[in-house]
Structure 1
Amino acid sequence: METPQLTETILIRVKEGVAIKNDTPEMKAFQKLTDIVKSQDGFLRQYWGHQVEDDNIFVWSIDWKWKSDHDRLLESVDLKSTITAGLAELSDVKKHPPFITYTEFKSDPTAAYTAPVTEVAFVNMPAGYGEAEKYSMDNDMSHVGDEVKTVGKSWGSATGWIVETLPKDTEPTGEMVALLGVFGYASIDDHMRWRETPEHARIMVQMGVLAEKTGMSGTKAKILGGRSMFHVHFEGGK
């Protein structure tokens, strides 16, 4: 699989009673949006699903070959307005604006998204963090992917730095959404068993040291309800 240069992640709070799954009217409305996206030059893959912990939250992830391919879609007034109007059918976007991130994954995230269940985790950093903090995080946590796979039995994982977040004022003053990690498992139980291992405990200690050194913390976006990590049974692909 080709590693995308940019992954767009859109979270919306759906209207009461809306279920974007199976053959519901909402699913048919959403498929019109996915059809628009997959017809664009540079589109690679897309995945969607309701959050397990709060099924009022719907997650849509889109892999783009190049950032310029995504930008070209936004430059089309007609396409942008069609997608915006389509999301407004599913969510009260004025009351609950979509939470959107743009991530540059360091490796192909496909295996994580196509697993039966995916852990999605957002991390904050102090506003103005730079290359020194990124290097420290990348270097100190470089072994995590291997341990998640060999000990945690993950189907695959990927982490990447977030280059933009919308809206820009989702976080407390002095913080910004900085990092996204996705980890695929056969089941939520498998993920929970991994969290109970000594290897995972050691990683948590390392994360604590990194938090002291870099100021990282869990994302606090209102739409997440204080939950910076959650699970999704993603559908989709092409």
Structure 2
Amino acid sequence: MAVTEFGPMVVKPGLDVMDESTPEGKIVHSAWKGVTSEKTGPFRVYWGMEVESPENLWSFFDFESVEEHKKFAKEHGIHHVKDFDKVFERSVFQKHLGDETFPPTAFKSPVTEIMLAYFPSGISSEAKAAATERIAQFKENGLNKCADVQAANFGWAVEHDFAVPGEEGKTATALSLLIGWPSIDAHMRFRETDAFKESIGLIRGMEGLLRVTMCHVKCKTIENEKRKAE
């Protein structure tokens, strides 16, 4: 099952990891260039700073499976990130998006909206299917009526142990929606349209919904040339 490893890391204060001319930027860029130069490395890497919380660097890695990712991380990946303690304070989480969202084309847009809808870890298959259908309807009735939407990918995370933001000690699984926009302003304009206002209830009314988070990221991309033929 194809997956995308993803998660934010907290950058140490005063560092600019997106500027390759800085020492910290060189560490991050070299790491991503390194992992995408390996034959068993990720197909591609997307990374960018979160607009709403600019201390968070989000990174996304496309792999053939969770097992492939874990094997690569153990055998090769650890060597490429050996200097990350000089740049990052901590990792917020490290999870995987399932094959429904693969490949996550929304990250190729100038701005990607990342929505995570959290549900109880023990959510039933029926409730899961119902939530998926409501997201699909939101895409059909809302997003597809907006000419500014460049891509939209949605699907469930593999893991069921997400920490729920604002709910200490509570764990959950997550349904993701990734939307590619030309700009943040384009997203904000969409929120004022009838298409959005008439369809957003499909998300807010999902059975078992614990919390929804949303942020924007402006991603860079590196492709693994050695895996393009796969």
Q: CA deviation at 1:52?
A: 1.0
Q: Which residue of 1 aligns with 2:83?
A: 86
Give the TM-score normalised by structure 1. 0.82
Preserved contact between residue 99 and residue 165 of structure 1 (Cα < 8 Å): no
Q: CA RMSD in A?
A: 2.4
Preserved contact between residue 127 and residue 174 of structure 1 (Cα < 8 Å): no
Deviates more, 1:200-209 or 1:164-173: 164-173
Letter in 2 for 1:186: P
- 1:86–1:148 Cα change, 3 Å: farther
Q: Which residue of 1 aligns with 2:226?
A: none
In the alignment, the residues of structure 2 paired with residue 165 and residue 31 of structure 1 have an alpha-carbon distance, to the nearest angstrom, of: 31
Which runs of structure 2 are paired with 1:181-192 in the superposition (5 Å)? 181-192=177-188
Letter in 1 for 2:33: D
Q: Which residue of 2 aligns with 1:28?
A: 26
Q: Which residue of 1 aligns with 2:97?
A: 103
Matched, 1:123 2:148: no
In the alignment, the residues of structure 2 paired with residue 167 and residue 200 of structure 1 have an alpha-carbon distance, to the nearest angstrom, of: 28
Preserved contact between residue 101 and residue 166 of structure 1 (Cα < 8 Å): no
Q: Which residue of 2 aligns with 1:68?
A: 67
Letter in 2 for 1:192: M
- 1:166–1:137 Cα change, 3 Å: closer
Pairing partner for 2:149 from 147, 154, 158: 154
Which runs of structure 2 are paired with 1:164-203 in the superposition (5 Å)? 164=159, 172-203=168-199
In the alignment, the residues of structure 1 paired with residue 124 and residue 31 of structure 2 have an alpha-carbon distance, to the nearest angstrom, of: 36
Can you list the C-alpha shifts for 1:22-70, whole angstroms capped at 9, x where unaligned?
A: 3221111012221332114262111111111121111111111233321
Letter in 1 for 2:11: V
Letter in 2 for 1:7: T
Preserved contact between residue 31 and residue 81 of structure 2 (Cα < 8 Å): no
Preserved contact between residue 138 and residue 202 of structure 2 (Cα < 8 Å): no
- 1:66–1:126 Cα change, 3 Å: closer
- 1:167–1:123 Cα change, 3 Å: closer
In the alignment, the residues of structure 2 paired with residue 166 and residue 14 of structure 1 have an alpha-carbon distance, to the nearest angstrom, of: 24
Q: CA deviation at 1:99?
A: 1.6
Q: Which residue of 2 aligns with 1:15?
A: 12
Deviates more, 1:80-89 or 1:183-192: 80-89
Q: Which residue of 1 aligns with 2:217?
A: 232
Percent of matched pairs sharing the same residue: 22
Preserved contact between residue 106 and residue 151 of structure 2 (Cα < 8 Å): yes
SS at match of 2:149: coil
Preserved contact between residue 163 and residue 169 of structure 2 (Cα < 8 Å): no
In the alignment, the residues of structure 1 paired with residue 50 and residue 180 of structure 2 have an alpha-carbon distance, to the nearest angstrom, of: 14
- 1:36–1:42 Cα change, 3 Å: closer
Pairing partner for 1:144 from 135, 138, 141: 138
SS at match of 2:89: coil
- 1:168–1:72 Cα change, 3 Å: farther
